[in-house]
Structure formats: structure tokens, C-alpha cells
A = this chain, B = another copy of it.
Amino acid sequence: MFYSSKDLKFQLFEHIKVSELCKLPYFQEHSQETFELVLDAADKIAVHQLRPLLTEMDRQEPKLTADGIKVHPGMRKIIQTFGEDGWINATFSFEEGGQQLPNTMHMAAGFIFQAANYSSSVYPFLTTGAANLIRTFGSQELIDKFTPNMYNGKWQGTMALTEPDAGSSLSDLSTTAYPTEKEGVFKIKGQKIYISCGDHDACENIIHLMLARIEGAPAGVKGISLFVVPKINVDTGLPNDVRTEGVYHKMGYKGAPIAHLMMGSEDLCEGYLVGEAHRGLSYMFQMMNEARVGVGMNAGAIATAAYYSSLAYAKERPQGRKIGEKDPSQPQVSIIEHADVKRMLLFQKAITEGSLSLLLYCSKLGDMAHAGKGEAKVNAALLLGLLTPIAKSYPSEMGCLSTSAAVQVLGGAGYTTDFPVEQYYREARIHPIHEGTTGIHGMDLLGRKIVIQEGKAVQLLMAEMIQSIARAKTVKQTDSFASTLEKYMQKAQQVTGHLLQKAGKNPEVYLSDATLYLEFLGILVIAWRWLEQGMDASSQLEISTQDSEFYHGKLMAMEYFFEYELVKMGALEKRLLSEKITTIAMQTEWF
């Protein structure tokens, strides 16, 4: 078991209430029944196609050959399945051949794939993201030229942003596009690094959505344009001068190839401008929320798989006796009987299920921002923007600690390759880095999202929390937790107000602990999601005795989060209210 179907369905149908989306015209063809079919279909693929390759794909890394990068031979069949079964364009409109599936359900299915075998799940999701850019901002000609074979899985899509001298600092990218006589067609010259699925042999072509600077464009972020750059020219069938310079060897997530690409070394690389010139970065950023929530989901899914692996081990592994039992002739107990092991399991449960709640909540906001109407649509977009850095970073950062707890539950066995938890530990570590490091998201939250529209997004979040608290106070099992959350919410308001005073005076000081603020607000938000889960579990316990063990577990995980995690806000508060500018005062030469 690498995820809990019961929990996923609870989260979707009883907690997030995804079926409410079916009231929106865009999703009206759907219902809880069709959603459950989606989950069942995802489970089948995950169990039968992805999961069996989990270990093999880690052990047989992609290799660079004279013909490009070779990946595990099983990937071809997997990508075909994703294409043929309609997963790649599932969220797109009926007119485009899609299924108008809510993004929330696409993310839920993704969660299943990622928990089964993270590396394999990356390929189709990247193609979805790349195709989404073309269909949203590209001309009909580009859409017709590229998207059909991306949707059916024949061609791989990528997002080609990073360059050797422009990692977190996109404004410095230097790949250049030179106009040609053909309208909309440019000659591309430059290099890109760390391109996920940037080259491989499980598809017939690779379609890069690439950022580059048109010759003579202004410096900085405003001079960046978006291009489609295929590996093979789709008109001529000839190579398009995109050379694979290397494949990165990584600590984990080894089943997906990460490429170093060189464009135009023979001056023959053609790229097609997407939308208007110089607007590439803004196009990219309009897709960012989804991609970033997606990374949070990856991290949460890996941590979930690790949690269930350690849970199974803890139930089976006999070791030691209960405290107070001194008789060595008594049989040993399963380690799950030890309080400290239960603590490590509860920690994982609280982190992974709390993260999943936030991620699905954000996904639903995305659906409302896309298909909703009026104020609800606008507010959903604002709230999603605010929560995105948290939804990306909290599961990523805490996912590393959660998988670490899984390793610890297994002890020495967890450190060996005999169990998958060590692989999860290695795979978890990428998420605080890619799609914006945690530091970048801290600055995004505090420097941008908190202040836009005079703090309207924060006000929306607080209004939601106040509503939750009011409701939770009327429920016996959540009453005291609601009061606790209220106090911490007030702490958060005080800290935010305190920091905002510094914003104008000294932006460097203001942002110097942005990463801590991100963690601080993240804990509050997850506590709120747990309060909501606690209420929903209470409701179910009132309705029937079915699955009562599951719902009791939810209430205990809520309690765990409040007892062991929420209190951490106090330590962060103390630092965030301090006037000492330690990190700024530290000098390079003093290290």
C-alpha cells in the first residue's frame, strides 16, 4: 500500500467536497460517480504499470548515448497509456478533445501516480504543462502543429527555463532568439540546464517550451519571450539542432532524465514564438501556481508512500517490550506499540494528510478561479496566489522530515536498499529546490503575496479561518482546538503587522527572515486544514459507525498537529519579532 484510497476519498468527497464543482457549468458533465471512476482508473495504472518499476527505475539510471538519452524501456508503454487513456489533456475542454475534468481530480490522480513511482509520473505531467502553455497563449497554427501528438503521448513536452548563469534569477537568462524571414520563426542559440525529461527515447519527439530573449530585447524580465523549440522539426522530420550535452546524475528521482541542452551550435535551431514577444515570463507565471501546487503534491505523495511503508513495517516488526515489562521470556511486541514509534507515525500522518488537505483545497481554488464566476472567481485566484508558496514549500520541506521519520521507524533496515524508504528519502529532497527554492517562495509570500491589493489575500484567508473557528467551536471534538487556533491566528496577525512596518524602511531587513515567515504561516494554515478535517471527521462519526476507526485516527492526528507542530509557531514568532539582524550583520569574511 503506497497511499490510502480511503483517505483520498475522504479528503475529496467529505472534506474538500470536490463534487460542489459540478454545479459550475464547465464541470456539469461530472459527478462524484465519474470522479470515483477516475480514481479507480488511476489506481489501476499506478498498481499495474508504475509501481512495479519503482525500484528498477532508480537502479537503472538514464544514460547518455550517441543517439541521445536512453531511459528505462518500460517508460514507452507508460507514456502511451497516459496518452491513450486521455490523462495528458484530461482537464482541457471538450472542444480540444479533453474531458473538462476538474484540476482537483487531475491532481488527485497525480497523487496516486506520484506515490506509486514519482519518476514515472513526471513525464506526462510535464507534457500537460507544456501543452497548456501552447493552447492558452499560442496561435491556432501552433496548437494544431504540436498539441495533438502531445496529448496522445507520442511527444514529450518540457519547460526549459534554467541556464548556467540564471537559476533562481530568471532575469539573467541569455539564450537568444534571432528573427528569420519566416514570421514567428526564430533561430535559437544558447543553452539550458536541469531540463526535466529534456531528452529521452520513450517518445518520438521532445517539444520544449523555452524562454529566450529576442535579439535586442530589453534587459531583465521584460525582455523574455516564450518559444516552442522541438527536438525534431515536425515539418521536415529532420533534427532541429537541439543537442543533448549531458545527463545529470542525481541523488534521487533517478528514473526521470534531467538534461543539459545546447541549441543552435550549427545555427540551425528553429523556435516558434508563442503569443506576443517579451511576454514569455508572464505567460510562464500564469501557469506557475498550478506547477507549484503540483510540486507540493509530488512531495506529499512521496512522503505518503514512505508513511505507509513505515506503518506496515511498524505493525509487523517485533522488537522490545512495553515499558515496565521486564520479563525477557515474554514475547516481543510490534514496534508500533512503542509510544515513540507512534509519535513518528503520527508525525508522518499529520504532515502528509495535512499537506494533502491544503493541496486539494488549493486545487479546488484553481478550478474555481478557472471556471467560477464573479467575485468567487476573483477571490479564489487571490487566495490561491497567497497559498501557493505554502502549498509548494510546506509539503516539500516537511516531506523531507516526514520521509526521514519513515527511515527512522525502520531503523537500520530503513538505511538499506532492501526497503523503499531510503529511495523516498532521496526523492523527497528535490522538492525544496525545484520550481523555486523555499527561499524564493518565502520572498514571494512576504514580499509580494502578503501585500498585493493592500493585503486583500491575507484578509480572505483570515476570514476563511474565522469562519472555520466559529463552526469548530460548536463541535465538541474541535471546540478547544478552535480556541487554540484563534490564538495562533492572532499571533500571526501581530507578526505580520510587525514585519510590514519594516517593509518600507528597509526591504532587506523586512525580507531577511522570509523563509521563517513562510514556515510560520505554513504551520498556521496546516493547523486550520486539520481543524477542518477534525470537523468533517466528527460529522462522519455522528452519522454512522462505519469506518469509525479511520475517523478516530483523524481526530488524533489533529490533536497531534496541535500538540507537537502548532506550538512551533511560538519559537518562530519569537525570532520574527526580534530586532536583531543577525544574518545581515554577518560578514562574508567572518565565516
Contact = CB atoms under 8 A, between A and B. Distances in A.
A349 interface: yes
Given A336-B588, A571-B567, A329 B415 contact: no
A549 B514 contact: no
Interface string A510-525: 0111111000000000
A433 B417 contact: no
A165 interface: yes
Contacts of A32: none
B574 A340 contact: no
A328 B417 contact: no
Nearest to A408: B432
Given A340-B514, A437-B408, A416 B168 contact: no
Contact of A194 (B318, B345, B412, B429): B412
A87 interface: no
Interface residues of A, number: 103
Given A343-B515, A417-B249, A425-B251, A567 B575 contact: yes
A456 interface: no
Nearest to A337: B588
A212 B558 CA distance: 45
Interface string A73-96: 000000000000000000000000
Interface stretch (A41-49, A143-151, A460-468, A579-587): A579-587
A540 interface: no
Given A169-B319, A586-B342, A329 B219 contact: yes
Given A220-B328, A515-B343, A590 B553 contact: yes
Interface in A399-417: 400, 404, 407-408, 411-412, 414-417
Contact of A563 (B194, B411, B578): B578
Interface in A320-340: 320-324, 326, 328-329, 332, 334, 336-340
A491 B432 CA distance: 34
A285 interface: no
Interface of A: 162, 165, 167-169, 171-172, 193-194, 219-221, 248-252, 311, 315, 318-324, 326, 328-329, 332, 334, 336-343, 345-346, 349, 400, 404, 407-408, 411-412, 414-418, 422, 425-426, 429-430, 432-434, 437-439, 442-443, 507-508, 511-516, 549-550, 552-553, 556, 559-560, 563-564, 567-572, 574-575, 578, 580, 582-591
23 contacts: A165-B318, A169-B320, A248-B417, A249-B418, A251-B415, A251-B417, A315-B588, A339-B584, A343-B513, A343-B583, A346-B583, A400-B404, A408-B433, A408-B438, A408-B439, A411-B433, A415-B430, A516-B564, A549-B590, A553-B586, A553-B591, A556-B585, A563-B582
**Shortest Cβ-Cβ A-B pairs, 10 listed:** A220-B328, A553-B590, A339-B512, A251-B422, A169-B320, A340-B439, A249-B417, A219-B328, A567-B574, A567-B571
